[in-house]
Amino acid sequence: MTDPTPLDLAHAAMEAAPEDDAARLRFYERLADGEVFLLLAGAPEGENVEPELFDVADARFVLVFDREERLARFTGRISPYVALSGRAIAGMLAGQGIGLAVNPEVAPSQILIPPEAVDWLAETLSDGPAEAEARPEEITAPRGLPEALLTALDAKLASAGGLARFAYLAGVTYTGGARGHLLGFVGATPGAEPALARAINEALTFSGLEAAALDVAFFATSDPMAATLARHGLRFDLPQPPTPEDRPAPGSDPDKPPILR
């Protein structure tokens, strides 16, 4: 028996606590963040892909699997597919009345996600963080943060490899007396700031903590604030990115997703 995947574990936690909204949200977050393999009706043609559609009851579904071997086991033959993030697939299917059949018949995490849930996921992922300007006056150690939020941040930052060197979570007091918590990224890759801000916004959304709030800022390694955060903050190291392929797979660029036919 193969080891359970992150999606298997999140699904098991959701099934074990059906009334726990936080467990349900964590499952959807794992689905959105993870790479899944979408079964196609035929080989991709440039940026155009045509997913295989299945009718179940009164709805249509595309099939996605979180492992290539699970897709192969389901079809029992060599089949065309495309690797995409769950968020990319949700965005492409939103508003089309199509649901997601996840790991059908081949894994403990098999589940049918109806079209309305796909629409909800796409809408949730499209909500971005609000921008504001404030000047920190004092940086302190973080205090009183829920364990669920720390766990959500750790999981989200683990999927942001290569976008920054590390991040520090600290308490902050701003000019004027407002207090809160700040996640400061150090050495962010140029242009990665919006993606990192969205990732943290999603971590808050999927943590299940309604009142959770967190400010995000970016600092160069030479910035004195980076040294201040290092003295007082809780450090998160972001993993190194995988070696890029010479030719990106369809859907690997979030700004140019494949086109469903």
Measured distance CA(15)–CA(24) in Å, rounded: 8
The CATH code of the domain that includes 76 is: 3.40.1350.90
Angle in degrees, 0-180, between the axes of helices 21-33 and 193-206, rounded to the nearest 10: 150
Residue found under tokens 């936690």: 13
Number of domains in the chain: 2
Q: What's the pLDDT at 248?
A: 56
Reported as a single tens digit per residue, the pLDDT across 178-209 is 888 999 999 999 999 998 998 898 888 888 76
pLDDT, position 56: 84
Q: Which two tokens stand for residue 179?
A: 């207090």
What pLDDT is recorded for position 22?
85
pLDDT at residue 146, rounded to an integer:
84
pLDDT at residue 81, as a whole number: 94
- Return the structure tokens found at 100: 């997601």
The 10s digit of each residue's pLDDT in 25-49 is 999 999 998 899 999 998 887 778 8
Same-domain pairing of 112 and 150: no
Are the beta carbons of 171 and 212 closer than 8 angstroms?
no
Which residues in 229-247 are b (16+ Cβ under 10 Å) and which e? beebbbebebeeeeeeeee
- Do 19 and 121 belong together in one domain? yes
222 in any annotated domain = yes
Mean pLDDT (10-residue bins), the chain, 261 residues: 87 93 90 93 83 89 96 94 93 94 96 95 83 86 86 86 90 90 93 91 79 84 94 89 54 57 56
pLDDT at 128: 72
Domain span including residue 57:
6-126
Three-class DSSP category at 98: strand
Q: Which of 69, 101, 126 is the last residue of a domain?
A: 126
pLDDT score for 258: 60
Say if residue 11 is in the same domain as residue 116. Answer: yes
